Structure 1
Amino acid sequence: MDSYAVFLRGINVGGINIKMADLRDALKNCGFPDAKTLLASGNVVLSSNLDAAAVKQECEKCLRATFGYDAWVVVLDAGRVAQLVDACPYPEDDKSTHTYITISSDIPSLDELEAAGSLLEKHNQQRLGPEALAWLAPVGGTLDSPFSKVSSKAKFKAATTTRNLRTLIKVRDAAAALDAGQAKGS
């Protein structure tokens, strides 16, 4: 069984409010019995015999049926989350900037986002792999940063989501704990 991180796009902002306990229960009822939520921004770790694409499809179907909204998720293998955290060249905590990683389920969308962002901010982003782009925003100015404004456009909504590096570290650690629990149970 493989462990995955599931990142929901656009919940608990903009009118789509889902309690994490309800999210966890919904995913458990949809065939992911060990689903665990982290923070209140739609981060889930779970294990499955399905591949990442099938986990994505099942999670989106479950969320749409349970919560009645047009749900989009990005699913990464738990090991890949750890690799992205390790590859990020920016600091976890800094007094002047916040580090974010935008992840995508559609590589061409991320390519387009990267190209648009690089026109605005030459030195504040770095591609971490085909599905991830790290970028910096000034403390207190994340939503006003040029890259944030570009990434919030509707055309990127279904394929990308952004998390700060601290959140991805928590997701990485929770996924590792899930893996350790599975190893112990085998």
Structure 2
Amino acid sequence: MNSYAVFLRGINVAGINIKMADLREALKALPFSAVTTLLASGNVVLASELPAAAVKSEFESCLRDAFGFDAWVVVLTAARVAELVEACPYPADDAATHSYVTLSSDAAALAELYDAGAALDGVELTRLGAEAVAWLAPAGGTLDSPFSKLSAKARYKASTTTRNLRTLVKVRDAAARLA
């Protein structure tokens, strides 16, 4: 049995609302067990015999069928989430900045995003792997930060999602309990 973290993009923002209890109920019909939702921003940990690509496909189909939501998710093993948290060079808690990790299901799209972000003035980025980029934003100015605006472009919608590092720590800890 594999432990996974599933990160949904774009729920409970911009008028797309899915209650976590409803999501858990919809997922019961799938070959997943120990499904746990975390926070209301689309973070799920679960166990499955399926490989990650099949978890992604099943999960996205479920969201479309159950909620009419054109959904995209990033699926990572619990072990990989733990590695990314440990690899992030930025602090989880800091009064002046917030640490974020942009996750992607498409290595080429993330590479493009990273290269474009690295070319911006005043942006601090660290590539954590083929599926993740860590970055800093000023406290209170995340949505106005240059990298946040760049990553919000439509071209990245189907393959990326961003979480603050504190959220990834919570997901890591919940996923570790499944193992």
TM range (shorter): over 0.9
Cα distance per residue 1:69-126 (max 9 Å; x no partner): 1010000011000000000000010010000000100000000100111111455110
| Corresponding position of 2:12 | 12
1:35 aligned counterpart, secondary structure? strand
TM-score for the superposition, normalised by structure 1: 0.94
Aligned-partner residue type, residue 149 of structure 1: K
For 2:138 and 2:174, the matched residues in 1 are separated by: 28
Provide the aligned C-alpha RMSD in A: 0.9
Kept in 2, the 8 Å contact 1:143–1:149? The answer is: yes
For 1:132 and 1:164, the matched residues in 2 are separated by: 12
Cα distance per residue 1:22-79 (max 9 Å; x no partner): 1111112223232100000000000111100000000000110000010100000110
For 2:79 and 2:135, the matched residues in 1 are separated by: 21
Alignment of 1:102-181 (within 5 A): 102-121=102-121, 124-179=124-179
TM-score for the superposition, normalised by structure 2: 0.98
For 2:40 and 2:74, the matched residues in 1 are separated by: 16
Higher fraction of helix = 1
1:120 aligned counterpart, secondary structure? coil
For 1:132 and 1:149, the matched residues in 2 are separated by: 17
Give the total of aligned pairs: 179
Identity among equivalent pairs (%) = 70
5+ residue gaps, structure 1, are: 180-186
Q: CA deviation at 1:18?
A: 0.4
- Show structure 1 runs of 4+ deviating over 2 A: none
Cα distance per residue 1:128-180 (max 9 Å; x no partner): 0111000000000000000000000000000000000000000000001111x
Structure 1 window deviating more from structure 2 (118-127 vs 18-27): it is 118-127
| 2:53 corresponds to 1:56 | no
Kept in 1, the 8 Å contact 2:143–2:149? The answer is: yes
Kept in 2, the 8 Å contact 1:92–1:166? The answer is: yes
Aligned-partner residue type, residue 53 of structure 1: A
Kept in 2, the 8 Å contact 1:27–1:33? The answer is: no
Alignment of 1:57-96 (within 5 A): 57-96=57-96
5+ residue gaps, structure 2, are: none
